[in-house]
Amino acid sequence: MVPESQTSKAGTAPADSGFGALLLHSVLENVPVGILAVSSTGRILACNGTAEFLLRIIRAKIIDQEYSAVLPDHLCAAMRRQLDLLAAGDEAEDSEIDCEISANQSLKIGINTATLFDPNGESLGCSFIFRDMSLSREVQTLRTANEMKSELVRVVSHELKSPLTAILQAAEYLLDEPKRLEKDQLAMASIVNESGLWISGLIADLLDLSKLEGNQLGLDLEIANLNALVEDIVELHRTKPNITFELDLTPNLPNLRFDRKKIHQVLENFVSNAVKYSPGGGRVRIRTAQTSGHQISVVVQDQGLGIPSDQLPYVWDKFFRVDSKETAKIKGTGLGLAITKRIVELHGGNVDVESQLGVGSVFSFTLPLNLGEPVT
Ligand code: ADP
């Protein structure tokens, strides 16, 4: 039996008025789980504010009362099961009950139980911890749905790969010997080839994204230099009509460890977007720099369409494309920047964008110098 001095009509109020006890009282009152302490004879010793809220009970009416006389039947039944287990020397089991909070709404409440001991190690009774499981269930359901969606994308994309390879090979065969075909047949073969390449790119993006989202894309780190990577990529775009490239590469930029193929993909996305979304031509400026925060930054600036400020926060979202007549005329899937952001973050870096409609955009990313061993 618990001495009366150890309990309080005010719920979890402390036995002494010391600072530590007050602190403990405040913590117990504010934790996001409900707590009920019950003596070994079934008397309610303590109840915190969260328990009042979750179980829809009034603390002043239940403290010092026999739990089975004042608590709702379904709650008592669950508590009795736990008390019986503990009395028999068995481990308590986690359980769940439904608590009605209004006519058509109920909460799933999870219950954990632990034995309460006095300073001499004697059993005083039992503490019941109640937590609202509804949210974690919803999160779990969403997580499962998301995993199923990623699996579906992975399977469908995988299944499309082989027939698509066959279509592309056939188109390539036809285009290799243009003399075999009439002019309009050649045009059709080109359309098949271009569309096939487009779908193939889309499938590659979808597979990359589902791997990145499922944390299945590992990094193949190697020591490399970002200046060299920038030069390689610009070479691929040099012949684009009406586009002038301007490189401002910091000399002696330190080497660092990164996944060359994936960062190539990031930079290629920034540069090809800068070219693609500058339909009237213009200058594309690429800058590299070592920042004070032990990072290297790469900045790609264009004088293209720009992005309206209200749409700017969404450019990193999957399938997002700027909603404008000009963008609609330019081919795209809205996946490149979503993949780019995830790849950079996987390296411990960050992406950023600034843009002004009709003036141009500045896309940038940083990579940490200390990913793996810094190498100079
Ligand atoms: P995609 O280019 O295939 O549509 P991205 O994910 O690379 O997909 O880009 C998302 C959207 O962001 C693009 O559709 C475009 O509207 C906008 N965007 C990206 N880069 C630029 C840029 N340099 N200038 C203007 N708009 C851009």
Can you give the pTM of this predicted structure? 0.64
Q: Determine the atom of ligand 1 nearest the C-alpha atom of 360.
A: 24
- pLDDT at residue 48 tops 90: yes
Residue 374: predicted pLDDT? 41
Q: Determine the atom of ligand 1 nearest the C-alpha atom of 333.
A: 3
Q: How far is CA 358 from the centre of its chain?
A: 33
| Residue 375 banded pLDDT, cuts 50, 70, 90 | very low
Best residue among 203, 208, 273 to mutate for probing ligand 1's pocket (most ligand atoms within 8 Å of CB) is 273
Residue 84: predicted pLDDT? 86
- pLDDT at residue 6 tops 90: no
What is the average pLDDT across 101-114?
82
Please give the distance, rounded to the nearest whole angstrom, from the Cα atom of residue 39 to the centre of ligand 1.
65
| Residue 372 banded pLDDT, cuts 50, 70, 90 | low
CA distance 90 to 104: 37
Residues within a 6 A CB radius of ligand 1: 269, 273-274, 277, 302, 304-305, 307, 315, 320-322, 327, 332-338, 361
CA distance 170 to 193: 9
- Tally of CA atoms within 13 A in the half-sphere of 77 that contains its CB: 7
Q: What is the largest CA-CA distance in the chain?
A: 103
Please give the distance, rounded to the nearest whole angstrom, from the Cα atom of residue 331 to the centre of ligand 1.
10
Contact of 66 with 42, CB cutoff 8 Å: yes
Residue type, 217: L
Please give the distance, rounded to the nearest whole angstrom, from the Cα atom of residue 315 to the centre of ligand 1.
7
Residue 82: predicted pLDDT? 86
Please give the distance, rounded to the nearest whole angstrom, from the Cα atom of residue 155 to the centre of ligand 1.
27
Buried b (16+ CB within 10 A) or exposed e, 32-46: ebbbbbbbbebbbbb
Provide the mean pLDDT of the chain. Answer: 87
Contact of 131 with 139, CB cutoff 8 Å: no
Question: What one-character-per-residue DSSP string does 312-348 give?
Answer: GGGTTSTT----SHHHHTS---S-HHHHHHHHHHHTT
- pLDDT at residue 240 tops 80: yes
The sign of the torsion formed by the CA atoms of 136, 138, 144, 147 equals negative
Q: What is the pLDDT of residues 254-288, one digit of tens each?
A: 999 999 999 999 999 999 999 999 999 999 999 99
Of 289, 288, 311, 297, nearest to 361 by C-alpha is 311
Q: Whose CA is nearest to atom 13 of ligand 1?
A: 321
Contact of 258 with 347, CB cutoff 8 Å: yes
Please give the distance, rounded to the nearest whole angstrom, from the Cα atom of residue 212 to the centre of ligand 1.
20
Q: What is the pLDDT of residues 157-205, one digit of tens each?
A: 888 888 999 999 999 999 998 888 888 999 999 999 999 998 998 888 8
Best residue among 318, 321, 363 to mutate for probing ligand 1's pocket (most ligand atoms within 8 Å of CB) is 321
- pLDDT at residue 339 tops 80: yes
Lowest mean pLDDT among 2-6, 133-137, 206-210: 2-6
Alpha helix ranges (H) inside 3-132: 19-30, 49-55, 59-62, 67-70, 73-87
Q: Kindly give, in sequence order, each residue whose CB lies less than 8 Å from that of residue 159, ignoring residues fewer than 6 positions away.
A: none
Please give the distance, rounded to the nearest whole angstrom, from the Cα atom of residue 299 to the centre of ligand 1.
16
Residue 218: predicted pLDDT? 82
Q: What is the dihedral of CA 127, 133, 139, 140, to 10 degrees?
A: 90
Q: What is the pLDDT of residues 57-74, one digit of tens each?
A: 999 999 999 999 999 898
CA distance 281 to 241: 7
Please give the distance, rounded to the nearest whole angstrom, from the Cα atom of residue 48 to the centre of ligand 1.
53
Q: Whose CA is nearest to atom 7 of ligand 1?
A: 336
Residue 373: predicted pLDDT? 53
| Residue 37 banded pLDDT, cuts 50, 70, 90 | very high
Using alpha carbons, list the distances in angstroms from residue 226 to 143, 217, 233, 373: 37, 21, 11, 16
The side-by-side arrangement of strands in the sheet containing 243-249 is 243-249, 282-291, 295-301, 360-368, 351-356
* Rg, Å, the chain Cα set: 32
List 53's β-bridge partners, or say none.
none
Residue 4: predicted pLDDT? 40
What is the average pLDDT across 354-363?
97
Please give the distance, rounded to the nearest whole angstrom, from the Cα atom of residue 283 to the centre of ligand 1.
17
